[in-house]
Amino acid sequence: MKKYLFTPGPTPVPPEVLAAMGAPVVHHRSPDFRPVYERCLTRLREVCRTQSDVLLFTASGTGAFESAVVNLVTPGEPHLVVSAGSFGERWAAMTKAYGADVDQLQYAWGETPDADDVRARLAEREAKAVWVVQSETSTGVVADVQSIAAAVKEAGALVVVDAVSSLGAVPCETDAWGLDVVVSGSQKALMTPPGLGLAAVSDAAFERRGSTARFYFDWERTRKAQRALDAPFTPPVSLVAGLDVALGLLLEEGLEDVFERHVRLGRAARAGVKAMGFELFSPEEDRSAVVTAVRSTEAGEIIAALRDRFGITLAGGQGDLKGKIFRIGHIGWFDIFDITTALAAIEIVAAELGVEVERGVAVTAALEAYEHSTVA
């Protein structure tokens, strides 16, 4: 059966990227690898829109995030974690695990963090850093990181952004917005298999490193080695070769066009599910361009039926949302026909499961939302 991967990570990988990864393995300290490594690091800076070093780790996104925690947290120091879903809560748990004195600005899952709340919280209690998720993949909410970062800067704190599911899908202006650390992973909008984590680290963040013991994730060790194009540990050379090609594809399309495509895919997905009669869980707004979360008490059955009958993988809900929502990912190598395929199949299985869905309208609504929309 043909397989369709419509989850918010891992995401489908373009054939050019797979081909690059299938090339013979080269030695990481040889001239066969260095130009690829250098180009990949340069392209990462372009995609992160930063002049700072983007440190690459053989790890998933969580590992790259842990690099930020072990480099910035010294036990007992005050930190503020903003959470509104699964990943924000993970970062609260991780910063606490490393001994930070954590104040958690905790929203219900599905709510959108607000810059004024962050400002008010920092007025009550200072923090060395504020940890915030740009795209909370568990809910589909994309926060206004630009405004939140501005509030954090007013208070003189560092801002650390989880951009694991947003980098390369929605704007993330590392330097222009004053983001001190931006963390991401290879397996989402960067269109590469899982296995590479990255952290763009500003000089300000680098200078404020703490005293927690660290080795593999030590920023200084990786920064120094990367600057000499001499990775500190054996990098996954095939993944780096793939990521290099994937970043080239993103830059060739043009980041602004990539962002616009994601906005339009989000509009199309929302229009389609609403036309069928489903209720959205994720917000009805253009920023929500990463994943569309849909309420359904039959979510578990719909996901299972899609997989068994059509080879389609959607994501379910996490935590308390398990069994209550299904999520359609549309980040990375996605186009409108991925959305219409997902919608057409959802319509069939939902109707078979006895869900009251309006037939024959979702695909048309999605196509219209995609075609007849321009993004300012």
Q: How far apart are CA 331 and CA 329, in angstroms?
A: 6
Of 42-50, 71-79, 159-167, 324-332, which part binds ligand PLP (CB under 6 A)?
159-167
Contact between 347 and 362 under an 8 Å Cβ cutoff? The reply is yes
CB atoms < 10 A from the CB of 108, how many? 10
In 10-135, which ranges are continuous DSSP H helix?
Answer: 15-21, 34-48, 61-72, 86-97, 115-124
Contact between 346 and 361 under an 8 Å Cβ cutoff? The reply is no
Asked if 112 touches ligand PLP (CB under 6 A), the answer is: no
Handedness of CA 301, 304, 308, 311 (dihedral sign): positive
In 125-236, which ranges are continuous DSSP H helix?
Answer: 145-154, 203-207, 219-227
Looking at beta carbons only, is 61 or 317 nearer to ligand PLP? Answer: 61
Asked if 133 touches ligand PLP (CB under 6 A), the answer is: yes
Q: Write the interaction track for ligand PLP spanning residues 302-341; mark x where CB under 6 A is met and - where it is not.
A: ----------------------------------------
What token pair was written down for 135?
A: 């795209």
The amino acid at 150:
A
Contact between 283 and 140 under an 8 Å Cβ cutoff? The reply is yes
Q: Which residue in 58, 62, 74, 341 binds ligand PLP (CB under 6 A)?
A: 62
Asked if 288 touches ligand PLP (CB under 6 A), the answer is: no
Asked if 146 touches ligand PLP (CB under 6 A), the answer is: no
CB of 301 to ligand PLP, least distance (A): 23
Asked if 95 touches ligand PLP (CB under 6 A), the answer is: no
Looking at beta carbons only, is 187 or 212 nearer to ligand PLP? Answer: 187
Asked if 162 touches ligand PLP (CB under 6 A), the answer is: yes
Looking at beta carbons only, is 69 or 357 nearer to ligand PLP? Answer: 69
CB of 208 to ligand PLP, least distance (A): 23
For helices 86-97 and 61-72, angle between their N-to-C axes, nearest 10 degrees = 40
CB of 24 to ligand PLP, least distance (A): 27
| Residues at the site binding ligand PLP, with contacts judged by CB under 6 A | 9, 60-62, 87, 133, 135, 137, 162, 164-165, 185
